[in-house]
Structure 1
C-alpha cells in the first residue's frame, strides 16, 4: 500500500499547535519530573513487597500503565507473580548457571510453537503440588499446561469476589484501580528467538540499557497462541520487564507521543465500541512507538514536533492494519494481529482509520482531552506558549501529586505482629541506602508510620496478665503511635485517639481531638480539594515531611484484620468477608465519632453537640470532606453514633441511607445486622 504523505501547508502553525498539545499533555499526563517521581515510588513499593514475600518464596513485579508512570483514567496496574524455586532454561547447557539444589528447572521447547510461544516441560517432578497438578503427559514428557495452571492459581486466591479471567490474567477492580494479575515463571536468560533484537539496537536504546535487559531475561505467562496446535498448553514469552525499562528510556516527548496515542485509541478509535469490537489496544500503541524510535524515523523528538511524531506513528499503524501484520518488537516473527485483525474486521478497521487519516490533524478535535489545547493554540500568539516543564506546574501542584502518589503506594500487606516487626527491620536496613531518591526516603517514612500503627494495635490485642507487662506495653504503644504521627499525614494523630478511647483514657483522647480540630480547620489543609494559593503561602519553604504532617488530611485506612475500636468491628468483619481488605474513613467523620464516644463518658451535653456536627456533615457535605465512595461508611458511622446515644429512629434512617449508597466498603451485612438489632430491641419502631 502506498500512502501519500500528509502535506503541512503552514509548518509554523503545526509547530505552534504541537507546543500547545505538549503543554496540555504535561498537565494531564505529567511533566518528566512528575513521571520520574511516580516511577521512583513504584520502585520502592515493589522492592518492599518483594522483601516481605521472600519468606513465601514468591517474587512479584509491577507493570502496566501505572508502572510506566501514567495516571490517566483507566490506567491499569499489572502484577506478575512467580515462584523463586523454579527457573526456566532454554537448553541443557544453561543448567550449570542454575542452583539445582534449591531450584526446580523447567526446560523450554519451542519446536512446535509459533514465534513468541513455547511449551514448558519438567525433566524432574516439582515439589510444588500446584505445579505438579498442572502437568499433562505429551511425547512421554510431563508438560506444564498453561490453562490448567492458570485455573489452579486463580481459584486458589482470587483477589476480589468480582475477579474474572482475562487472557493469562485475573482481572478486576481493587480500590478503584483496574488490575491484571498474572502467575508466571521466570527465565534468567534472554530468548534465542529475540537475539536479532540485540543486533538491531544501534541508536536506541543505549548499550548499557540493552545489556541490562538481556541480563534480566524474560518471563512466561500462562496463555497459548490461539492458532497454535497446543493452545491450552503453550506459554507466551513476556518481555514486560524489558518494555518497562524501554519506556523509562524514552525522552519526555517520546513518552508524551505514547500518551497521545493512548488517548487517540480510547477517545477516538475505540470510543463507543463494545470490548469485543476493540481490535487495537494500548500494547499496539507501545509497540509502534518502540519501532519508530529504534528505526530512527524521526530525527527530532521535541515539543515543536510532537504532532509530527504522532503522525509518523499513526501512519505506521495504518500500514500494519492494511497489511494485517503487527511485528512484536522483540520477536518480529510474532505477528500480534494474527487471529485477531483479519478478513472483514481488518477491512472495516482500515477503512475507519483511513477516514481519520484523510481528515489530517483535524480528527484530534474529536478527543476531549486534546481539543481544548488545539483550539487555544489558534487564539494564542506564538510567543506566549512556554514549553519549559519547570514552569508548567507550580511547587504546590507538584506537592499534591507527590502526596497522592505516597497515598497510592503506602498500603502495607496484612501482617501479623512478627511480620510487622520484620517489615520495620527491612525499612531500617533500606532507608540508609545512598541510592534512594528523596521521594523514596519520604515514601519509606510513610511506610514506617503505617507499620508502627499496625504494630501498636497488634500489640494492643495481645493478652497479658502481668501488670508490669501491661504498663510497659501501654507506654510502648503510645510511643509508637506518637512517632507514627510525626512521619505520617495530619489525620494519623487519630490512631492515638482510637487507642486512648479503647483503653478508657477519654480525657487524653479529647485533648488530642481538640488539637486535631484546630489543625483541620486551617484553610490550606488538603482534603479532597485544595486551595493551591493558600497551601502555597502557608507551606512555602517547609520540608515535605512537615507539609505532610500539617497539610495533608486524606482518609484513614483501617486494616480489616486488625481491631482498632470495638464499635467498628462488625463493619470490618463484613468488609473482610466480602473481599475488602481495608476500610477508608474520612478524617472528619472519624474525628466526630471519637468525640461523641469519648464525651459520652465525660459530658453528655458535649456528646450531643458533636453528634449534631456529625449529622450536619454527613447530611450536607458536597464532597469537600466526604468522598462519594466513602458515603456508605459515613452514613453507617452516623447511625452507630445515633444508636449508642439512644436515637434509634434516626439510626435506622442512617443505616437505610448507608444501604442506598454505592457499596464500596461492602459493609451491607453489618448494616443489616444493626437494623435487625434496632427492630429486635425496639419493636415499636417502623
Structure 2
C-alpha cells in the first residue's frame, strides 16, 4: 500500500509517461489543435462548413482513433417556429424544430418552414409529407448522404449512427452531414444556468459556445420505436471548445481514461459480447462533470492518479445506477440502450475488478504494448523529455499537420494568403506559407493554356515565353517543399526540358523511396535521422529548411494543375484529385524523358524499376490503382499492347481507395482499338 508521498511521486512519473506516450508536450498539443482550426477555416466553403470533431479535432487522438468530420450545410438553417425569420436568411431553407413525441430528450423532428435557395438532391429526396406537413427524414437523408459520397470521393461508405464511415489507406474516418442551428437549444437551457461552484466553464466560454449554437444530425433515438423522422441535437462543436479549454493536466487524465477504455475493450468483447458498451464519449462526459465539480488546484501532476481515480469512481457510480447523464441535457440517459439488466451487472463486475487493483489497473489489457504500468517501471521512459526531444516532437506535429493539409491548399483559394499575412507563431507562419505556396502553384497552372503546352517552339512567341517563365517562377517556391518539386519536374517535361526534369528526378529519388504512407512513426523516424546529422533550430526559417529536405507526400493533382497529357483520362474527373505515390511518379517521368531523348537503356531501367514497385507495400498497386496504370501507359507507349492490357486490368481490379474514378476499363478499350487498327492498317502503326 502506497503512502501519499509515494503516490504523488508515482503520479508525477505517470504524468511524464502520459506525455511521452500520447501528448509529447503542451506546445505539441496546441499545434495540433491550431492546425485543426486553420484547416477548418480553409476547408469551409461558401456552402459547406467543415468541423473536425472527436479525438482528432480535440488534439487528443491515440492509436486506433478515427478521424471525424461534420459537414455543415450552410444553405439550411434550423430554428424554432415562434422565431421570426431574419431578412438575411430570406434565401435560406428554414427548418422548424418540432417535438419528437416518441423520442427521448435531445431528439426532435424537423419540419420544412421554407424551401428556397440552393436545395441539395439529398435534402430534396428526403422530404416526407405527414398530415399535410413536410418533414425531413433522418433515415432517408443519412442514406442519401452515403450515396452522394461515392461520386464525390470515389469510395464506398457505410452508415454508422449519424455518420457515413469509410476506410482508406489504413485510416478510418466518419463524416456526419448536419444542419446548423445558430441559437442555443431550448432543451439545453439548464446548462446555461447550472450552478458552478468552481467556475468552469467560465462565463466567457459559455457565451462563446452559446453564440455558436448547435447542430442537427441525422439519427434517431435507438430506444424509440420510430426513428424515421427523428434528429439528434448535437453539441459536438461545443464539446470541442470545452476540451480545448482543458488544462494540460486535465488533458493527460482524459488521455489516461481513453487509454484505460481501449485496454479493457477486449475484455468487454469477450465477456459481454459488445466492446462498444462503453465508448470514449462516456469518458469525455465523465471529464466534463469531474472538472465542473472540482477546484482547479486539484488538477496537478502530483495528483494525476487521484484525478483519474475520481473520474473512474464517477463512471462506476453511473454504471451502478444505470444512468449516464448527457452533459448538456442531463435527462438524456446515454446508458438507456445498452447498460441495463445482465449486461449492466457484467460491466459493473469488470469495472469493480479493475477498481480493486488500484494502480495495477494500469497493467491490464494489450491494445497498447507495453502497458503504462510497464512504462512506469522503466526509469528511462519515466524521465522528463529533454529540450531536443520536445523540439523534435514539435516539428513532428508541424510536419504531420502539413501532410494532412486541407484539399483547398491544392486549389486556387486566397484564404491561405490572408492567414499568412496575419500569422503570429512559427507554426502559423510555416503552415499558412505552405498553403499559400500551393495556392500560388495552382494560380500558375491556370496561366498555362493548352496551346502553350503543346508548343515546343516557345521562343517565337514572346507572350508565351513570358507566361511560361512566370509560371515557372510561381511554381518554384512550392517546389522547395520536398516531393512537391515533382510539380516543377512535370512542368519541365511538358515544356520539353527533359534534361532538367531528369535532374530533378535524380535529386528527389532517394527521398521518394522513403515514402511509406506518411504515418506518424515513419515521419518521426525521418526527423530523428535528420537531427542526428543536423542540430535543429526552432525558428520558422529553420523549420522550412528541414521541411525542404524531408517532406514526403503523395502527388495530389487537381484538374487545374499542370499535368501530363498521358493522364488526360484520369484528369478528366474534375470533382476529385488524382493521388499518385511519389516513387512510381518519379519512375514514370524517368521513362517518359528517356523515351523522348531516345535513351533506350535509361528507359528500360525505369521500366524495370516501375515493374518492381508494383508490389511495394506503401506505394504499390494494392493501395494505389494509378501505380498499375502508369505501368500500362509505359507498355502502351512501347507498343506492347498485351502487357498494357494486363497492367490496366490489374488497375481496374484494384480495391484501393478512389477506384470509382479509375478509367482503366476505358484504357483497355482504347488499347483494343489500337490493336484492331494496327491489324487493319499495319503499315501506318
- What SS does structure 1 have at the residue aligned with 2:14? helix
Does the aligned pair in 2 maintain the 1:364–1:370 contact within 8 Å? no
| CA distances 1:547-597 after superposition (whole Å, capped 9, x unpaired) | 212332333223378571234445667xx69x97431322x4433332232
CA gap of 1:649–1:182, structure 2 versus 1, over 3 A, is closer
Does the aligned pair in 2 maintain the 1:403–1:548 contact within 8 Å? yes
Where does residue 316 of structure 1 map in the other structure?
Answer: 314
Where does residue 72 of structure 2 map in the other structure?
Answer: 82
Where does residue 411 of structure 1 map in the other structure?
Answer: 407
Instruction: Tell whether 2:39 aligns with 1:58.
Output: no
TM-score normalised by the chain length of structure 2? 0.82
Does the aligned pair in 1 maintain the 2:641–2:675 contact within 8 Å? no
- Per-residue deviation, 1:192: 2.5
Please give the alpha-carbon distance, in whole angstroms, between the structure 1 residues aligned to 2:600 and 2:124.
67
| CA distances 1:249-294 after superposition (whole Å, capped 9, x unpaired) | 1112211221222222223134573995521111111101111111
| CA distances 1:391-422 after superposition (whole Å, capped 9, x unpaired) | 4834234223311211112433885xxxx2xx
- What SS does structure 2 have at the residue aligned with 1:95? coil
- Per-residue deviation, 1:339: 2.3
Where does residue 333 of structure 2 map in the other structure?
Answer: 335
CA gap of 1:97–1:200, structure 2 versus 1, over 3 A, is farther
Please give the alpha-carbon distance, in whole angstroms, between the structure 2 residues aligned to 1:78 and 1:180.
5
Does the aligned pair in 1 maintain the 2:580–2:627 contact within 8 Å? no
Where does residue 186 of structure 2 map in the other structure?
Answer: 192
- What SS does structure 1 have at the residue aligned with 2:253? helix
- What SS does structure 2 have at the residue aligned with 1:601? helix
Write out aligned runs for 1:90-489 (5 A).
90=80, 92=82, 94-95=83-84, 99-110=88-99, 112=101, 113-127=103-117, 129=119, 130=121, 131=123, 133-138=125-130, 141-158=133-150, 159-198=153-192, 199-202=194-197, 203-228=199-224, 231-270=227-266, 273=269, 278-296=276-294, 300-368=298-366, 369=368, 371-378=370-377, 380=379, 385-387=382-384, 391=387, 393-412=389-408, 420=412, 423=413, 425-433=414-422, 436-460=424-448, 462-463=450-451, 467=461, 469-486=463-480, 489=481
Q: Structure 1 regions of 5+ residues with no counterpart?
A: 1-7
Does the aligned pair in 1 maintain the 2:154–2:657 contact within 8 Å? no
- Per-residue deviation, 1:104: 4.1
Does the aligned pair in 2 maintain the 1:592–1:610 contact within 8 Å? no
| CA distances 1:75-130 after superposition (whole Å, capped 9, x unpaired) | 222222333343222352x4276634334443323373432122222344445555
- Per-residue deviation, 1:65: 1.4
Where does residue 566 of structure 1 map in the other structure?
Answer: 565
- What SS does structure 1 have at the residue aligned with 2:326? coil
Please give the alpha-carbon distance, in whole angstroms, between the structure 2 residues aligned to 1:174 and 1:518.
26
Please give the alpha-carbon distance, in whole angstroms, between the structure 2 residues aligned to 1:668 and 1:616.
20
Instruction: Tell whether 2:67 aligns with 1:72.
Output: no
- Stretch deviating more after TM superposition (204-213 or 106-115): 106-115
Where does residue 510 of structure 1 map in the other structure?
Answer: 502
Where does residue 593 of structure 2 map in the other structure?
Answer: 598
- Per-residue deviation, 1:40: 1.0
Aligned residues: 650
- Per-residue deviation, 1:332: 0.5
Where does residue 28 of structure 1 map in the other structure?
Answer: 21
Does the aligned pair in 2 maintain the 1:116–1:237 contact within 8 Å? yes
CA gap of 1:98–1:279, structure 2 versus 1, over 3 A, is farther
Please give the alpha-carbon distance, in whole angstroms, between the structure 2 residues aligned to 1:580 and 1:271.
42
- Stretch deviating more after TM superposition (114-123 or 324-333): 114-123
Of 465, 481, 490, the residue aligned with 1:498 is 490
Does the aligned pair in 2 maintain the 1:224–1:234 contact within 8 Å? yes
CA gap of 1:146–1:392, structure 2 versus 1, over 3 A, is farther
TM-score normalised by the chain length of structure 1? 0.82
Q: Structure 2 regions of 5+ residues with no counterpart?
A: 456-460, 679-685
| CA distances 1:352-388 after superposition (whole Å, capped 9, x unpaired) | 222222333323212443744423433539xx9444x
Where does residue 5 of structure 1 map in the other structure?
Answer: none
Please give the alpha-carbon distance, in whole angstroms, between the structure 1 residues aligned to 2:142 and 2:653.
37
